[in-house]
Structure 1
Amino acid sequence: MKPPYEITSQILKLVSSISEKIGEVNAKYLVKSNPTLRKQNRIKTIHSSLSIEGNTLSEQQITAILENKRVVGPQKDIIEVLNALEVYKNLDDLKYNTEKDFLKAHKMLMSDLIENAGKYRTKGVGIVKGSIVEHIASPYQNVPFLMKDLFQYLKVKSEIALIKSCVFHYEMEFIHPFMDGNGRMGRLWQTLILMEEFPVFGFLPFETLISKNQTAYYCALSASDKEGKSTKFIEYMLTIIDQSLLELLDNSAKKLSNEDRIQIFLETDIDGFTRKDYLNYFKDLSSATASRDLKKAVDEGILTKQGDKKTTIYKKI
């Protein structure tokens, strides 16, 4: 059964705006941006998602952990970071519409933090803010059936991926299938759903904007709870995604360097290519600039060169 929500004019406007920005991202080759930028964005994602849940480690400390350096901090916080790094390292191997992978990801994310990581809860839970009970989660006996239905919904091809990802995120939070880690899993799985259609979301740290104003995040969840449908949360999350893409485009406004272009091209499946192939990939490039890029890559031992002039074939090393 399709979870309840309405398509509002704001949702339509946001879907259109996001689609335009994704097109611009693709046109500027930002999906396969340089590895340093991807690493920085991954660290921002992990830092933001964990800080929402109370983790105290900084981006610098997370970077140090990633580089196997010793970090002083609460043991629980360090374990949370190590687990998150492990999950994101395996992100490409997880299927967004498979419940088995969902449980596998939770086990990685919450290993050594809670009992029964990777298993649905077997107790009733309520979400308390201060002294007020904000939300009574679904009875634990219903969790397996509700999650099965939610994963069936993910397989509906007629649903727009942008909306589907928000609906899943909200419905999963509403069901609250785990004793702990629900927020992290909701944001992680929304990323995975979006990545299936738009690879840029693998490196777009939209959690950063959520962490800057957590009140709005929880207000959107609460508003949807009260209405009995995820409309308000969809509007909120699409706004966050739209703003994140705008920041990505603004931060990447500078032209790609020759190192960036070579790195991006090397990440394609193309091997044994000519200068013409390179120009076909970077359509705005002049022949002289393409020649300089390729010569520099050969001089630096990144590419090998066979043949002469127009018959020259370049190969990855």
Structure 2
Amino acid sequence: MKPPYEITSKILNLIASISEKIGEVNAAHLNKPPTELRKRNRIKTIQSSLEIEGNTLTVEQITDLLENKRILAPKKDILEVKNAISIYNQLNKFKVFELKSLCKAHKILMKDLIENPGKLRTGSVGIVKGSDIAHIAPPGALVRSLMSDLFNYLKNDDDLVLIKSCVFHYEFEFIHPFIDGNGRIGRLWQTMILKEHSPVFEFLPIESLIKQKQKEYYGVLGKSDKQGNSTFFIEFMLEIIKDALEDLLKVQNISLTNDDRIMNFKEIIGTRMFSRQDYLRAFKNISQATASRDLKSAVDNGIIEKYGDKRTTKYKYK
């Protein structure tokens, strides 16, 4: 059964704005941001998503952990971050339309933090905020069938991916399929779904904007619960996605390295043969000498193959 929600004028306007911004991102070759920016955004994503759940580690401490430096912090917090680093480093190994793959991701994310990570709950659970019960999740006996229905919607429905990502996020939190770790895995899986729409979302720190609006995030989840559909949550998350893209576009002056250009051009050209002129048309702000150096480096590193010589030279990604 399709999860309930309504298409509002706000949702339509936000989708139009997001689509326009993705076009700008692609034109600026930020669909796969520069290496340094990708690293910075990934750290922000991990820090923000875990801080929402009460983790105390700072961006600087997470950076140190990534560089294998020792830090002073609660053991549980360090373990949460190490697990998150592990999961975000292998996003491309998971299959976004498979429940089994999501359970595998949960197992990595919650390893040594709870009993039976990766296993769907079978008992009842309520979510407490302060001294109040904010949400009573569906009975454990229904969890597997509800999650199967949700993945069936994700895989087969004709909704736009942008909408499906928000609907999935809300319905996932409503079902609350695991004993713990539902918030962080729900946000992660929305990123996974969005990545199907555009590669830019793999390194877009949506979680950091959710953290800034954490109170509103939980408020909209509760409001959607009372409404009986995800409409308010879709509007909220699309606004977050739009803001994250706007933030990315503000850093257009960050220079792409030769490795960044080579990686971005692969997204453009695919497996087709190309010339140096084709490469230059994609990166109008570099010189012919820079283009030649980029291509020579990629050939030397075994990324592309070279055919012909001088004016007849053609290239192809391996």
TM-score by length of 2: 0.90
Contact 1:306 1:314 in 2 (8 A): yes
Q: Residue in 2 aligned with 1:26?
A: 26
Cα offsets for 1:285-308 (capped at 9, x unmatched):
4xxx43121344478x55558876
Aligned to 2:236: 236
Q: Hey, what does 1:293 align to over in structure 2?
A: 290
Number of residue-to-residue matches in the alignment: 311
Q: Give the TM-score normalised by structure 1.
A: 0.91
Q: What one-letter code is carried by the residue in structure 1 that aligns with 2:236?
A: Y
The Cα offsets for residues 121-171 of structure 1, whole Å up to 9 and x where unpaired, read as 122111111111111111111111111111111112411101100001001
SS of 1:251's equivalent? coil
1:258–1:200 Cα change, 3 Å: closer
Q: 1:312 Cα deviation (Å)?
A: 4.5
- 1:265 deviates by 4.9
User: Equivalent residue for 2:14?
Assistant: 14
Contact 1:302 1:316 (C-alpha < 8 Å) held by counterparts: no
After superposition, the Cα gap between the structure-2 partners of 1:306 and 1:198, relative to the gap in structure 1 and judged at 3 Å, is closer
| 1:8 partner letter | T
TM superposition outliers: structure 1 runs of 4+ over 2 Å: 255-274, 279-282, 294-299, 301-317
SS of the residue 1:39 aligns to: helix
Q: Once the 2 structures are TM-superposed, how far is the Cα of residue 310 of structure 1 from its aligned partner?
A: 2.4
Distance in structure 2 (CA, Å) of the matches to 1:258 and 1:291: 15
For 1:279, the equivalent position in structure 2 comes to 280
Going from structure 1 to structure 2, the CA distance change for 1:133 and 1:257 (only over 3 Å counts) comes to closer
Contact (CA 8 Å) 1:161, 1:197: kept in 2 or not? yes
1:68-217 correspondence to structure 2 within 5 Å: 68-217=68-217
SS in 1 for 2:122: coil
Partner Cα distance (2:317, 2:143) in 1: 50
Partner of 1:248: 248
What is the CA-CA distance between 1:70 and the residue it aligns to?
A: 1.2
State the distance in 2 between where 1:256 and 1:18 align: 24
Q: Any conservation in 2 of the 1:47–1:59 contact (CA below 8 Å)?
A: yes
Q: Is the 8 A contact 2:34 2:254 kept in 1?
A: no
Taking a change above 3 Å as real, the CA distance of residues 309 and 63 of structure 1, as seen in their structure-2 partners, is: same
Instruction: State whether residues 34 and 257 of structure 2, in contact with CA within 8 Å, keep that contact through their aligned partners in structure 1.
Output: no
SS at match of 2:71: coil
8 Å contact 1:32–1:267 — kept in the other structure?
Answer: no
Aligned equivalents of 2:309 and 2:155: distance in 1? Answer: 52
Cα distance change of structure 1 residues 125 and 37 upon mapping to structure 2, 3 Å threshold: same
TM-superposition CA deviations, 1:88-139 (whole Å, max 9, x none): 1110111111000010000010000000100011221111111111111111
In 2, Cα distance between equivalents of 1:314 and 1:274? 6
The answer on whether the counterparts of 2:280 and 2:288 sit within 8 Å (CA) in structure 1 is no
Compared CA separation, residues 174 and 255, structure 1 to 2 (3 A): closer
Paired letter, 2:63? T
Structure 2 residue identity aligned to 1:290: S
Tell me the SS of whatever aligns to 1:127.
strand
Q: Cα distance 1:142–1:18, how it changes in 2: closer, same or farther (>3 A)?
A: same
How many percent identity over aligned positions?
55
- Pairwise CA RMSD: 2.3
In the aligned structure 1, how far is the partner of 2:250 from the partner of 2:213?
21
CA distance, structure 2, for counterparts of residue 316 and residue 290 of structure 1? 21
Q: CA deviation at 1:309?
A: 4.7
Cα displacement string for residues 184-211 of structure 1 (whole angstroms, at most 9, x for unaligned residues): 0110010001101211110000110111
Q: 1:245 to 1:266 in 2, by over 3 A?
A: closer
Contact 1:96/1:192, CA 8 A, preserved across alignment: yes
